[in-house]
């Protein structure tokens, strides 16, 4: 049925996931050397080879390693010869997942390999991220990523949505949860530390590190054949807000709310939510936007506060949510990814496992 | 294997950007110590101004002048300023809603300490002594005594004395520590001994030079190191006629693909020691090492007969 859209909706699932151990630096590895074991692991889990994969899509950013077209080097790890059907997004791999999902929905492919990686260690990621800001009015001031998150955190405190002890509790809960995550960079309790940019302390900020993640998607019966309990993607949507920070109400995330609505997140309650909130204060915003109450297990992996490989951390959320469904630890999970300053762009995916006998 | 290499690397680029009519008026206005906003059809005043309404995507051009005083809507104390930021002493990042505006502008606030800053604080623009038509014409904000005013915005034609600012140059500089990884470290370490090494794919047996740690055909790690060359064959070439900046080489010169003996991939190199118009496919060449011995400066003819086309046609 290649190229032919019948109009009948296809079911697409995440059938396998793999990720690296996220580490502060990986000086001994090039990007492709860091990525390759993850690609091999995810293919091994399905028994697929590169030649079996219908579509490959990746997410990364040249600005992290300071190398132009670095994703083409990473393609060496995929085995891109003879030519494969391939695409790349210059943002978090969660958006590569979205592209692959659409490709499978159209019937253009039955399987997809989606991967993302980021090596933040060569540069200063706080400064590197300033280059994604409005180049006319904002980037010339070099406001770093912690500074912008701190402006949002103060707005939340002023509005009475949180306070510093509550933020510290988010940090502690996340890093305690990461004790059960072998890939995490910062597992276990640690002091909140000094202010980095007030009101955010060291503990409110994500670790800086290198890492990679890969997932395999499959449609319909292919998914059932490849995975005992596929994590079916029931809906996925992404939305963006005005780029000027002063236009937005930083205590709200209407883009997350809308993406969640369109993804069907509010149709029935979820039991698990993997939120991409690199800063403690952003979890406060996201919980509100997604209407998550205490019945929902939030970030059992430890979230981005325990490991934040830039460009991969959003796709890691999908992998963590899907992994829980594969293992039977969740029946309906929400995965969220973000990109840009102060939750500018947001993606929400709803994953479900079929009822068990 | 040798320890992983690392070296400082600086990426610098001066982005030249043109401005639309609204941005041009705003930045020209800053040069003249005047802050302009733009009014949406719904009557909201956006500062800094944009050319399209963020809510309706409608084009907007209705310029108005707002005050140089305003109110902090949120803030963050920055104890350790970083390179490029507006002030080099501790300061607060602030979003400021200027009197007459409905949205806030991001900038720095010069204040004695975090205890001197709060949301709702009244502030005013401190102008830069020399202004060029850039956001940095606002040096920063500073606290002021003047209470909130019921500022009525006034329409503004957008014209100022002198030429309008129609573009900005946004210089960027990022500092990195480059680490080439395992395969390239091995390659560079061998070059320092005037040897060229590749890596053989365990699956298809192809030898890649320079090695990148993976076989792009098989998608597996390459590990077995293989010494190749030093001699090789020109598989294809081009004649370079434009002198590169900061490069001493006289033009025209030849840049070629060279298949080193034993390699299954051609690498790039300059051909010297022969007039540019006598370089040909099949020419046998050898490396001439740079004075510091870290890499071949160029390749020169060995004097051997040319290689048979069949011996290198697969490497084109
Ligand atoms: Zn191979």
pLDDT by 10s per residue, chain A, length 357: 344 445 567 999 999 999 999 999 999 999 999 999 999 999 999 999 988 999 999 999 999 988 888 898 899 899 888 899 999 999 999 999 999 999 999 999 999 999 999 999 999 999 999 999 999 999 999 999 999 999 999 999 999 999 999 999 999 999 999 999 999 999 998 999 999 999 999 999 999 999 999 999 999 999 999 999 999 999 999 999 998 999 999 999 999 999 999 999 999 999 999 999 999 999 999 999 999 999 999 999 999 999 999 999 999 999 999 999 999 999 999 999 999 999 999 999 999 999 876
- The band of B188, judged by pLDDT with boundaries at 50, 70 and 90, is very high
Return the residue of A nearest to B176 by Cα: A123
* Chain B, nearest residue to A120 by Cα: B176
More confident residue, A174 or B4: A174
Q: How far is CA B156 from CA A72, B22, B61, B64, in A?
A: 50, 11, 10, 5
pTM of the model: 0.94
What spacing in Å lies between the alpha carbon of B219 and ligand 1's midpoint? 7
Is any Cβ of chain B less than 8 angstroms from the Cβ of A105? no
Q: Which residues contact B190 (CB under 8 A, 6 or more apart)?
A: B196, B197, B225, B227
The answer, for B50 touching chain A at a CB cutoff of 8 Å, is yes
Do A81 and B181 lie within an 8 Å CB cutoff? no
Q: Which of A53, A64, A154 to probe by mutation at the B interface, max B CB count within 10 Å?
A: A154
Query: Minimal Cα–Cα distance from B276 to chain A, Å?
Result: 30
Q: How far is the CA of B204 from the centre of ligand 1 (A)?
A: 4
Check CB contact under 8 Å for A143 and B178: no
Residue B217: which of A81, A143, A244 has the nearest Cβ? A81
pLDDT in tens, A78-91: 988 889 999 999 99
Whether chain B has a CB inside 8 Å of the CB on A68: the answer is no
Beta carbons of B181 and A138 less than 8 Å apart: no
Residue of A23, A33, A70, A155 to mutate, interface with B, max B Cβ within 10 Å = A33
Q: What is the mean pLDDT of residues B307-313?
A: 94
pLDDT at B267 over 90: yes
Examine residue B48 and say whether the peptide bond preceding it is cis (omega within 30 degrees of 0): yes
DSSP string, B98-165: ETT-SS-EEEEE--SSGGG--TT-EEEEEE-SS--SSGGGEEEEEE-------PPPEE-----SSPPP
Q: How far is B251 from chain A (nearest CA, A)?
A: 27
The answer to whether residue B168 scores a pLDDT higher than 70 is yes
Return all residues near B82 (Cβ < 8 A) that are at least 6 apart. Answer: A126, A127, A142, A144
Contact status of B44 with chain A (Cβ, < 8 Å): no
Residue B149 confidence (pLDDT): 73
B209 contacts chain A (CB < 8 A): no
What's the DSSP call for residue A215? E
Nearest to A250 among B74, B78, B214 (CB): B74
Distance CA A217, CA A211 (A): 21
CA distance B170 to chain A (A): 7
Chain B residues in contact with A144 (beta carbon < 8 A): 82
**E-assigned strand segments in chain A:** 12-19, 55-59, 86-89, 111-119, 195-197, 200-201, 210-219, 231-240, 272-274, 297-298, 332-339, 345-352
Alpha carbons B200 and B264: distance in angstroms, whole number: 9
Average pLDDT over residues B27-32: 98
Q: What is the pLDDT of residue B291?
A: 83
Query: What is the token pair recorded at A68?
Result: 């132009």
Q: Do B212 and A140 lie within an 8 Å CB cutoff? A: no
Q: Which of B170, B188, B218, B219 is the best residue to mutate to test the A interface, defined by the most A CB atoms within 10 Å of its own CB?
A: B219
Q: State the distance from the centre of ligand 1 to the C-alpha of B173, rounded, in angstroms.
A: 38
The DSSP call for residue A11 is: P
User: Is B84's pLDDT higher than 70?
Assistant: yes
For residue B48, give the nearest of A76, A144, A244 by CB distance: A244
Does the pLDDT value for residue B271 go beyond 70? yes
- For residue A115, report the distance from its CA to the centre of ligand 1, in Å: 21
- Taking only the tens place, the pLDDT of each residue in B103-136 is 999 999 999 999 999 999 999 999 999 999 999 9
Interval between CA A73 and ligand 1 midpoint (Å) = 15
Confidence at residue A357, expressed as pLDDT on a 0 to 100 scale: 63
Instruction: Give the integer Cα–Cα distance in Å for A210 and B213.
Output: 18
Nearest Cα to Cα of residue B180 among A164, A214, A182, A122: A122
Q: Residue B299: beta bridge partners?
A: B271, B287
Mean pLDDT of the B268-282 span: 96
Question: Nearest C-alpha of chain A: how many angstroms from B76?
Answer: 5
A157 interaction partners in chain B (CB closer than 8 Å):
none
B108 touches chain A (CB under 8 A): yes
Subunit contact A143:B106, Cβ cutoff 8 A: yes
- Interface contact flag, A141 B85, Cβ < 8 Å: yes
Percent of chain A residues past pLDDT 90, beyond the cut: 90
Q: How many pairs of residues across A and B have Cβ atoms under 8 Å apart? A: 189
Q: How far is the CA of A112 from the centre of ligand 1 (A)?
A: 22
Residue of B nearest to A126 (CA): B82
Residues A14-49 pLDDT 10s: 999 999 999 999 999 999 999 999 999 999 999 999
Question: Which residues in chain B are closer than 8 Å to A247, comparing Cβ atoms?
Answer: 46, 54, 103
Pairing of strands B284-289, B296-301: antiparallel
ipTM of the predicted structure? Answer: 0.94
Q: Is B170 on the interface with A (CB under 8 A)?
A: yes
Which residue in B9, B54, B184 is closest to A247 by CB distance?
A: B54
**Tell me, what's the pLDDT at A73?**
87
CA–CA gap between residue B134 and residue B15 (Å, rounded): 14
**What is the side-by-side order of every strand in the sheet holding A12-19?**
A86-89, A55-59, A111-119, A210-219, A12-19, A231-240, A345-352, A332-339, A272-274, A297-298
Tell me if B216 and A81 make a contact (CB, 8 A cut-off).
yes
Distance, CA of A175 to CA of A106 (rounded, Å): 40
Q: Do B84 and A142 touch (CB under 8 A)?
A: yes
Phi, psi (5° rounding) for residue A2?
-55, 130
Q: How far apart are CA A270 and CA A62, in angstroms?
A: 36
* C-alpha B213 – ligand 1 centre gap (Å): 11
Residue B112 CA to its chain's centroid (Å):
35
Contacts of A207 (CB under 8 A, 6+ apart): A22, A24, A185, A186, A305, A306, A307, A308
Share of chain B above pLDDT 70, in %: 99
Cβ–Cβ below 8 Å for B105 and A246: yes
Q: Does A291 touch chain B (CB under 8 A)?
A: no
Closest CA to A230 of A240, A217, A245: A217
């Amino acid at each position: 049925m290649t190229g032919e859209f019948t109009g009948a909706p296809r079911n697409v699932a995440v059938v396998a996931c793999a990720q690296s151990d996220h580490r502060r630096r990986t000086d001994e590895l090039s990007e492709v050397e860091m990525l390759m074991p993850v690609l091999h692991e995810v293919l091994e889990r399905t028994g697929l080879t590169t030649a079996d994969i219908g579509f490959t899509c990746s997410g990364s950013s040249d600005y992290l390693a300071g190398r132009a077209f670095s994703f083409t080097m990473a393609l060496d790890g995929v085995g891109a010869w003879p030519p494969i059907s391939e695409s790349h997004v210059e943002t978090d791999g969660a958006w590569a997942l979205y592209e692959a999902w659409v490709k499978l929905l159209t019937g253009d492919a039955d399987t997809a390999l989606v991967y993302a990686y980021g090596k933040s260690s060569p540069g200063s990621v706080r400064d590197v991220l300033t280059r994604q800001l409005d180049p006319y009015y904002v980037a010339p001031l070099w406001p770093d990523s912690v500074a912008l998150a701190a402006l949002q955190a103060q707005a939340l405190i002023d509005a009475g949505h949180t306070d510093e002890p509550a933020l510290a509790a988010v940090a502690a809960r996340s890093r305690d949860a990461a004790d059960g995550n072998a890939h995490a960079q910062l597992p276990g309790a640690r002091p909140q530390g000094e202010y980095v940019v007030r009101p955010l302390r060291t503990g409110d900020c994500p670790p800086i590190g290198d890492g990679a993640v890969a997932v395999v998607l499959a449609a319909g019966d292919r998914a059932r054949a490849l995975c005992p309990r596929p994590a079916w993607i029931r809906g996925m949507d992404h939305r963006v807000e005005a780029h000027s920070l002063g236009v937005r109400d930083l205590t709200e995330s209407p883009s997350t709310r809308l993406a969640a609505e369109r993804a069907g997140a509010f149709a029935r309650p979820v039991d698990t939510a993997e939120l991409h909130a690199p800063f403690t204060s952003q979890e406060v915003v996201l919980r509100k936007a997604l209407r998550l109450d205490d019945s929902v297990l939030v970030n059992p992996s430890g979230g981005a506060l325990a490991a934040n490989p830039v460009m991969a951390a959003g796709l890691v959320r999908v992998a963590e949510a899907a992994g829980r469904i594969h293992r039977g630890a969740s029946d309906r999970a929400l995965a969220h990814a973000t990109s840009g300053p102060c939750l500018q762009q947001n993606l929400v995916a709803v994953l479900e496992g079929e009822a068990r006998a | 294997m040798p320890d992983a290499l690392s070296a400082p690397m600086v990426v610098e680029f001066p982005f030249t950007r043109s401005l639309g009519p609204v941005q041009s008026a705003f930045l020209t206005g800053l040069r003249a110590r005047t802050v302009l906003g733009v009014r949406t059809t719904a009557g909201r005043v956006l500062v800094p101004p944009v050319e399209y309404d963020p809510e309706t995507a409608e084009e907007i051009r209705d310029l108005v002048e707002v005050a140089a005083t305003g109110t902090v809507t949120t803030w963050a104390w920055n104890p350790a300023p970083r390179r490029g930021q507006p002030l080099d002493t501790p300061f607060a990042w602030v979003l400021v809603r200027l009197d007459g505006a409905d949205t806030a502008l991001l900038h720095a606030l010069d204040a004695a300490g975090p205890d001197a800053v709060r949301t709702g604080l009244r502030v005013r623009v401190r102008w830069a002594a020399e202004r060029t038509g850039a956001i940095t014409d606002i040096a920063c904000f500073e606290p002021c005594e003047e209470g909130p005013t019921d500022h009525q915005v006034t329409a503004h034609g957008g014209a100022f004395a002198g030429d309008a600012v129609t573009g900005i140059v946004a210089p960027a500089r990022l500092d990195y520590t480059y680490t080439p990884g395992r395969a390239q470290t091995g390659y560079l370490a061998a070059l320092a001994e005037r040897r060229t090494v590749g890596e053989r794919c365990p699956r298809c047996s192809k030898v890649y030079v320079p090695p990148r740690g993976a076989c792009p055909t098989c998608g597996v790690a390459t590990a077995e190191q293989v010494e190749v060359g030093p001699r090789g064959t020109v598989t294809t070439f081009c004649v370079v006629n434009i002198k590169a900046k900061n490069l001493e080489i006289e033009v025209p010169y030849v840049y070629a693909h060279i298949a080193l003996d034993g390699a299954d991939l051609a690498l790039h190199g300059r051909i010297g020691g022969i007039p540019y118009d006598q370089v040909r496919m099949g020419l046998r060449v050898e490396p001439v090492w740079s004075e510091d011995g870290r890499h071949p400066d160029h390749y020169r003819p060995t004097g051997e007969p040319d290689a048979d086309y069949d011996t290198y046609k697969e490497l084109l």
